[in-house]
């Protein structure tokens, strides 16, 4: 009856894996892949702009908070929805910056990093579907009692 870290994180639940992958995308890959290359051929990373960095770290934090709130599935689901909204806002900012007037833009080439919010959204949607499935299962078992 010792402390088991895997039981604490509930890694046997698939939504925990999805949330962990979303956190890795939001927190780790932003330092690996650049968002775009400016007119001077210098790659621009998320760490170069505090707004983008804060939004990516906020997304990762929401994913991690959601992992540790595995006992409260409704709250976990709400955090997932907020995280999806945050990633859509981040994606909207990227689209806005990329679609500025072509003559005034300082972006010469798009990077892989602008697609990170899309991958995060996919894994967050999968996590929310699994959370909803768990919640429905618990409700159906409670009805049988």
Quote the CA–CA distance of 35 and 62 in Å, as a whole number.
22
Lowest model confidence (mean pLDDT) among 87-91, 105-109, 129-133, 135-139? 105-109
Share the mean pLDDT of the chain. Answer: 85
Across the range 124-142, mean pLDDT stands at 88
Domain spans of the chain, in order of start: 14-144
Q: How confident is the model at residue 6 (pLDDT cuts 50, 70, 90)?
A: low
pLDDT digits (tens, 9 = 90+) for 13-55: 899 999 999 999 999 898 899 888 887 888 888 988 899 999 9
pLDDT digits (tens, 9 = 90+) for 64-122: 999 998 888 899 999 999 999 999 999 999 888 888 746 555 666 788 888 999 999 99
């Amino acid at each position: 009856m010792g402390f088991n870290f895997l039981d604490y994180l509930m890694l046997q639940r698939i939504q925990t894996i999805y949330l962990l992958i979303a956190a890795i995308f939001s927190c780790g890959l932003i330092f690996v892949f650049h968002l775009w290359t400016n007119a001077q051929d210098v790659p621009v990373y998320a760490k170069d702009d505090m707004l983008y960095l804060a939004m990516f770290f906020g997304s990762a934090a929401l994913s991690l908070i959601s992992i540790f709130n595995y006992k409260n599935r409704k709250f976990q689901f709400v955090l997932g929805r907020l995280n999806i909204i945050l990633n859509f806002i981040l994606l909207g900012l990227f689209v806005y910056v990329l679609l500025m007037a072509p003559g005034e833009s300082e972006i010469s080439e798009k990077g892989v990093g602008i697609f990170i919010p899309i991958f995060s959204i996919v894994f967050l949607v999968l996590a929310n579907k699994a959370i909803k499935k768990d919640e429905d299962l618990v409700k159906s078992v409670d009805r049988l009692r």
